[in-house]
């Protein structure tokens, strides 16, 4: 059965000089409005113990436009400015719900330059997009067509650190579920192999950052030699950004193809609830973990499983997938990272990653059967073991070693 989903379609475009100047002013206005609203909220709370709502921030924005200092805000469309205040409101909502940290100020050099336009601030006619305050439509490179009959409800324009311009259109799209399958897979994320499947297949880690490391180091050396604030330094900074953009594009493309393949072939996918933020504290492995992009891999699996009618099971992060013997259920006491093959007391010889992948799959199937494990399970205060662990050890103990 098909379902309607909201889907963003992202394209590159090449603005004219006038359009680039208008968008740059809009980016600056969005950043200024966001920062002033955040400053006002912080001052009101810490000085007067008073909360500021979106309506009050919007009224303050109107007042700022009437001042001589900020009168230039009237030169850009008001919709992106209002959307920035809504984003700030959402950021505080996530903070109070303990889903995110306290909102931070936007930096001109480090923050993403973007502006969001709602339906009242752009015109979509005959496949041509014209933003508010502009006369000519954007020159978009249509790398793929929009869904037939789709009209964007929201348009987000952005410029990355490499100077590339992008437009993202949010549209309603019809997604058909993938053909039913009786297969299940449990990928074990790694560094040497990006993922080891429970079938025994190992997906080689492309190591995109390592492949361009020499080029990146050369660009950084050139940047370090330039005088701060000079035009040459800005050019050198752009070269560094282009190398980073190349790495990110290749990594994202590889992960999209990999996750699409896994979702198409399998009905059930089981993954571990890895705390990547904590793993990055390991100074020796932080660079390799960042290059592997495990968080992006999980997020892609999540939305693709939801779109195509697949089941994604997330098991407890404390489950000893590598130390657990898939043949007898024994948990070995110590298993250093440099040990890639180990032998259990029962005589079974395990490849570390392949054994972990099979145990992850067994844990997910057991937890899914009893309605547990779809969300990360905390360890029990009495037993020190999560329900996912207990179910898995009962399910895997005595299982013949493949």
Are 396 and 348 within 8 A, CB to CB?
A: no
CA–CA distance, 78 with 149 (Å, rounded to integer): 28
Mean local confidence (pLDDT), 98-109:
92
pLDDT at residue number 384? 39
Residue 353 falls in the annotated catalytic set? yes
| Predicted local distance difference test score (pLDDT) of residue 284 | 86
Euclidean distance between the first and final Cα of the chain, in Å? 37
Strand, coil or helix: 257 = helix
Confidence band for 306, pLDDT divided at 50, 70 and 90: very high
| Residue pLDDT, tens place only, 66-83 | 999 999 999 999 999 999
Question: Residue 272 catalytic?
Answer: yes
pTM above 0.85, yes or no: no
- Does 148 score more than 90 pLDDT? no
- Residue 53 has what pLDDT? 93
188 is catalytic: yes
Q: Tokens for 270, please give them.
A: 């089981």
Task: Give mean pLDDT, residues 321-348.
Answer: 86
149-161 residue pLDDT tens: 889 999 999 999 9
State the pairing for strand pair 268-272/184-185.
Answer: parallel
Q: Is 238 exposed, middle or buried, given 0-12, 13-18 or 19+ CB atoms closer than 10 A? A: middle
Task: Give 379's pLDDT tier (boundaries 50, 70, 90).
Answer: very low
Q: If you average pLDDT over every residue of the chain, what do you get?
A: 88
Judge whether residue 393 has pLDDT over 60: no
Q: Kindly name the residue from 22, 209, 353, 372 that is annotated as catalytic.
A: 353
Q: What is the pLDDT of residue 374?
A: 46
Q: What pLDDT, on the 0 to 100 scale, is given for residue 59?
A: 96
- pLDDT tens readout for residues 18-71: 999 999 999 999 999 999 999 999 999 898 888 899 999 999 999 999 999 999
Q: Give dist(CA 93, CA 47) in Å, integer.
A: 21
Q: Which of 116, 188, 316, 372 is catalytic?
A: 188
Q: Which of the following is catalytic: 22, 116, 209, 272?
A: 272
């Amino acid at each position: 059965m098909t379902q309607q989903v909201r889907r963003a379609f992202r394209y590159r475009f090449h603005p004219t000089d006038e359009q680039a100047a208008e968008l740059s002013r809009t980016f600056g206005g969005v950043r200024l409005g966001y920062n002033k609203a955040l400053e006002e909220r912080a001052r009101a709370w810490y000085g007067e113990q008073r909360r500021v709502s979106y309506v009050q921030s919007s009224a303050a924005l109107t007042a700022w436009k009437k001042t001589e200092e900020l009168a230039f805000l009237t030169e850009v469309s008001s919709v992106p400015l209002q959307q920035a205040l809504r984003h700030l409101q959402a950021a505080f909502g996530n903070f109070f719900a303990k889903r995110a940290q306290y909102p931070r100020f936007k930096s001109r050099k480090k923050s993403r330059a973007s502006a969001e336009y709602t339906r009242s601030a752009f015109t979509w006619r005959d496949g041509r997009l014209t933003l508010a305050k502009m006369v000519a439509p954007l020159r978009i490179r249509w790398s793929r067509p929009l869904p037939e009959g789709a009209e964007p409800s929201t348009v987000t324009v952005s410029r990355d650190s490499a100077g590339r311009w992008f437009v993202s259109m949010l549209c309603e799209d019809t997604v058909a579920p993938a053909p039913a399958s009786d297969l299940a897979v449990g990928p074990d994320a790694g560094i040497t192999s990006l993922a080891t499947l429970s079938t025994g297949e190992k997906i080689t880690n492309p190591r995109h950052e390592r492949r361009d490391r020499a080029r990146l180091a050369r660009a950084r050396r050139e940047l370090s030699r330039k005088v701060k604030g000079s035009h040459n330094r800005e050019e050198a900074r752009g070269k560094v950004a282009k190398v980073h953009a190349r790495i990110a594009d290749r990594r994202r493309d590889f992960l999209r193809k990999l996750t699409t393949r896994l979702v198409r072939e399998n009905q059930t996918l089981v993954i571990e609830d890895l705390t990547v933020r904590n793993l990055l504290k390991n100074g020796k492995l932080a660079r390799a973990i960042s290059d592997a992009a495990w968080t992006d891999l999980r997020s892609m699996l999540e939305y693709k499983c939801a779109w195509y009618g697949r089941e994604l099971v997330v098991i407890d992060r404390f489950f000893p997938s590598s130390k657990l013997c898939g043949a007898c259920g024994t948990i070995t006491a110590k298993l250093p990272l440099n040990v890639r093959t180990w032998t259990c007391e029962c005589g079974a010889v395990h490849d570390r990653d392949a054994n972990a992948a099979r145990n992850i799959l067994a844990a997910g199937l057991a937890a899914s059967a009893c309605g547990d494990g779809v969300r990360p399970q905390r360890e029990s205060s009495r037993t020190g073991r999560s329900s996912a662990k207990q179910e898995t050890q009962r399910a895997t103990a005595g299982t013949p070693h493949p």
